[in-house]
Amino acid sequence: MKKETTPELGSVKGMRDIFNGEYYAYQGFFEKAAEIAHYYGFTPIETPILEKEDLFARGTGIDTDIVQKEMYSLRTKGGDHLALRPEFTPAIMRAYIENGFQSQPQPVMLYSSGSLFRHDKPQRGRYRQFYQFDLEVIGTQKSIVDALIIKLFLLILEEAGLKNLEVEVNSIGDKECRGNYRRELANYYRKQVRQICADCRERLKTNPLRLLDCKNPACEEVKLGAPSALNFLCGDCKIHFKEVVEYLDQLDINYEINTNLVRGLDYYSRTVFEITENVTTKDETGGPPLTIAGGGRYDYLARALGNKKDIPAVI
């Protein structure tokens, strides 16, 4: 039998065709996720795949890996600088402001799904075009919403058949108290600068919080000794985080407080969380479990995008 060869015009590296059973699995997941979101009062929104490049530079963060290394940017014949969306949140906040959602009863609860694009290194569980389901609650500071988002993601993943889900939560404070923590964290890492990777040496100069989001094994031991953000929380942030974990207890959600959890995007404040599936056996790659959901509170994104005031929100 003649061996089939890859055509000269094959698929782009890190992107793939989805068909047959895998296609229906994706379709079924998004339909079930939308059904759950709708039941809890969320309404759908679809934002363009192409947005202004500056939306993500200002929203996601100019010093993040997404903007610096992974974003697909292009310049149109008319001279516009655009980008394929690498995430949903800045685009949804842009849509919230631009379309007058602020005049509606608050909070506004939105869900979205579709393709995202990042020029990341193709590896286990990571493609350069990937698909995501997104929940956003915009217009409330209430801590119960932080817990509700975690609960809904757990429901969606459990409906998809995932088991042994683990939740990690942390608080990284707000603009009133995070400055002290950033300084303490930077001072700690300066003393360990010879033990960290080259990327972390650069992060130390631009955004010390992102040091804790490093996945390089060489930085793990240094990370374990890093100061905890919880020790630097102001009174309001302490109360907020205490309420979040109390709501998680009331919702019968098992969780672990991970003081090294920060997430890798500039807009997060206060609550951050991640959900993984705890597997008892390694997969064929021998790698660790993947983070399959994550998010948190982002109260300062609206102002970063040019709005006159902050708009509290949770993803």
Mean pLDDT over each residue of the chain, to the nearest integer = 92
User: Model-level pTM greater than 0.85?
Assistant: yes
What gap in Å lies between CA 188 and CA 200, rounded to an integer? 13
280, pLDDT greater than 50: yes
What integer pLDDT is reported at residue 88 of this predicted model? 97
Beta bridge partners of 170: 272
Confidence of residue 57 (pLDDT cuts 50, 70, 90): very high
Tell me the chain's radius of gyration from C-alpha atoms.
Answer: 20
Residue intervals in the chain for CATH 3.30.930.10: 20-177+233-307
Any idea what DSSP says for residue 71?
A: -
What integer pLDDT is reported at residue 74 of this predicted model? 95
3-class secondary structure, 209: helix
The model's pLDDT over 300-309, given as tens digits with 9 standing for 90+, comes to 999 999 999 9
Confidence of residue 120 (pLDDT cuts 50, 70, 90): confident
What integer pLDDT is reported at residue 154 of this predicted model? 98
272, pLDDT greater than 60: yes
Backbone angles phi, psi at 297, to 5 degrees: -90, 145
Q: What is the CATH number of domain 20-177+233-307?
A: 3.30.930.10
The first and second tokens of residue 69, run together, are 């290394």
Q: Return the minimum-mean-pLDDT range out of 76-85, 113-122, 296-305.
A: 113-122
275, pLDDT greater than 60: yes
Confidence of residue 282 (pLDDT cuts 50, 70, 90): very low
What integer pLDDT is reported at residue 125 of this predicted model? 65
Distances (CA, A) of 84 to 48, 205, 255: 9, 28, 34
What gap in Å lies between CA 10 and CA 113, rounded to an integer? 26
CB-CB contact of 96 with 81 (8 Å): no
pLDDT, average across residues 234-248: 98
What gap in Å lies between CA 142 and CA 153, rounded to an integer? 18
pLDDT, average across residues 265-272: 91
pLDDT, average across residues 97-119: 97
Counting residues of the chain whose pLDDT is more than 90, the rounded percentage is 78
